[in-house]
Amino acid sequence: MSKRRVVVTGLGTINPLGNNVFDTWNNLINGISGIDYISSFETDELPVTFAGEVKNFDANDYMGKQHARKLDRSGHLSIYATEEALKDAGFNTEERLGADVGIVFGTGIGGIGATEEAVRTYDKRGPSRINPLAITQLMPNSSTGQVAIKFGIEGPSLTITTACAASANALGEAKNMIQNGIVDTVIAGGTESGTTAMTIGAFAQIKALSTNNENPKKACKPFDKDRDGFVMGEGSTVLVMESEESAINRGADIYGYVSGYGASTDAHHITAPAEGGRGAVDAMKKALLDAELTPSDIDYINAHGTSTPANDKNETAAIKTVFGEKAYDINISSTKSMTGHLLGGGGAFESLVSLLSLKNNIIPPTINLNNPDEECDLNYTPNAAIEKELYAAMSNSFGFGGHNGVLVFKKS
Amino acid sequence: METNEVFEKVKGLFVEDLGIDESKVTMEAKLEEDLEIDSLGIVEVVMAFEDEFEIEIDDEELSDVSTVGQAVSLLHSKI
């Protein structure tokens, strides 16, 4: 029996580049950076003062204060992006979606802001003054549960926490759920809103972050010789994934096909990639096999491309291992150069980018790439978008812990 | 403190802190059905009352409280 094909019929996103798909895409293809000085808390004592924050979003205006105050910001962004995606897919968001719809969300650190707040209260005022909503805001599955409640999603639910591979793994597991006939539709995505003074400080302690405080918009420079670390980002991206027959029966417009998923684990080091990107190679190969494609079929790779010295070098090596000579012909780009690192929300966002690239035949650039690195010598689509007829794209996501999630998308 | 003063303070907490629509906060309003304060919300309300009126409220004291008016009476008796 041939496998059920899985399509995407709805996209929703809120991220440093925009609070809808249209603005996000326009900024991506024009090479606009969404990174700026942090506005949501004081950064005087921090070694890094900038990030990719969501802008012009007031949760009280969006959902009313009584509802908004019960959720962590991750929950606000998740509900917002899901509503956008459901509307885009043609669902009535006033009706419960029911038991034929599942949800799989990814996040790296969940409601870390709520955790910090509760600890501060405990230290200052003792246990009897801890916010009774703290647990429900800080648990990593909070967004999954809140989205399910809001839209009446009664099918299977999962929350995946594989750090920066989380929402790539979420989409992959959603694909498997649909392909295996468990449900026809899955709301799949990922959210991260973990930019706090503590997380900035902690990531800076392990030298993971760029410290280019003089010029935030030029700080994230994936594959550039002068790259000096990633930039924290926040956002939520949600895709409505369903079986092809379900989409056709509903008369829904199809963005593209989620055709391949490969996952692996480095089992090497908690932060550093395995030499040569060994685990990444394995995940890319599995994703191609699952998609029934060969390396020569891939036209675009949305790279993990974090702008850390180790990732970009090893990802490049991994792409060369998988694609051989063909690696030099493929357009690669890291849209993290514009969004910053959306961490657990990155895989879903970059899947959205891959699908829009296929649909529009445009590849967004890697911005801030001016000084070539001899160890990063592929075509990273530097600084300007290009138009090109596209058929298949790959999106790479790799996380602390050694988790690798790779997705392959096809236009038809 | 007069009952109506207690009510105004309670109303202020509900509106300012919990984001509840002012027009819904009447003495007759049911906390759960009318004001949509669930079991987690009740814990918040009690904390807010304790801070505002500098009192302590035991769980048993809440067993007969289901409306704003009953909450006001309880608070009035403890101040």
pLDDT digits (tens, 9 = 90+) for A261-288: 999 999 999 999 999 999 999 999 999 9
Which residues of chain B are within 8 Å of residue A132 when distances are taken between CB atoms? 40, 43-44, 47
DSSP letters, chain B, are: --HHHHHHHHHHIIIIIT---GGG--TT-BTTTTT---HHHHHHHHHHHHHHHT----GGGGTT--BHHHHHHHHHHH-
Tokens coding B49: 């009352």
pLDDT digits (tens, 9 = 90+) for A49-96: 999 999 999 999 999 999 999 999 999 999 999 999 999 999 999 999
A161's tokens: 């926490």
CB of A3 within 8 Å of any CB in chain B? no
Mutate to test the interface with A, among B18, B22, B32, B55 (most CBs of A within 10 A): B18
Backbone angles phi, psi at A293, to 5 degrees: -120, 165
- Closest residue in A to B45 (Cα) is A132
CATH number at residue B69: 1.10.1200.10
ipTM: 0.87
Nearest-angstrom CA–CA distance, B48 and B55? 10
β-partners of residue A372 are: A224
Q: How far is B3 from chain A (nearest CA, A)?
A: 26
Are A232 and A36 in contact, with CB atoms under 8 Å apart? no
pLDDT tens, residue order, chain A (412 aa): 578 999 999 999 999 999 999 999 999 999 999 999 999 999 999 999 999 999 999 999 999 999 999 999 999 999 999 999 999 999 999 999 999 999 999 999 999 999 999 999 999 999 999 999 999 999 999 999 999 999 999 999 999 999 999 999 999 999 999 999 999 999 999 999 999 999 999 999 999 999 999 999 999 999 999 999 999 999 999 999 999 999 999 999 999 999 999 999 999 999 999 999 999 999 999 999 999 999 999 999 999 999 999 999 999 999 999 999 999 999 999 999 999 999 999 999 999 999 999 999 999 999 999 999 999 999 999 999 999 999 999 999 999 999 999 999 999 9
Which among A281, A289, A264, A282 is positioned nearest to A3, based on CA atoms? A289
Count structural domains, chain B.
Answer: 1
How deeply is A276 buried, as exposed, middle or buried, from its count of CB atoms within 10 A (0-12, 13-18, 19+)? middle
Query: Percent of chain A, pLDDT > 70?
Result: 100
HSE, CB side, 13 Å, CA atoms: give it for residue A122: 9
* A132 Cβ under 8 Å from any chain B Cβ: yes
Whether domain A6-250 has CATH 3.40.47.10: yes
Catalytic member of A76, A341, A376, A403: A341
Q: Do B40 and A68 touch (CB under 8 A)?
A: no
Side chain identity at A173, as an amino acid letter? E
CATH class of the domain comprising A261-410: alpha beta
Residue pair A242/A6 in contact (Cβ under 8 Å)? The answer is yes
The closest of A31, A33, A46, A26 to A340, measured between CA atoms, is A33
For chain A, the domains span 6-250, 261-410
Q: Which amino acid is at B57?
A: I
Task: Give the whole-angstrom CA distance, residue A331 versus residue A391.
Answer: 12
HSE, side-chain direction, 13 A CA sphere, residue A187: 42
* Matching fold, domains A6-250 and A261-410: yes
CA A347, A352, A358, A362 dihedral sign is negative
Cα–Cα distance, A405 to A396 (Å, whole number): 6
If you measure CA to CA, which chain B residue comes closest to A131? B44
Closest-CA residue of chain B to A129: B47
Range of the domain at B69: 3-78
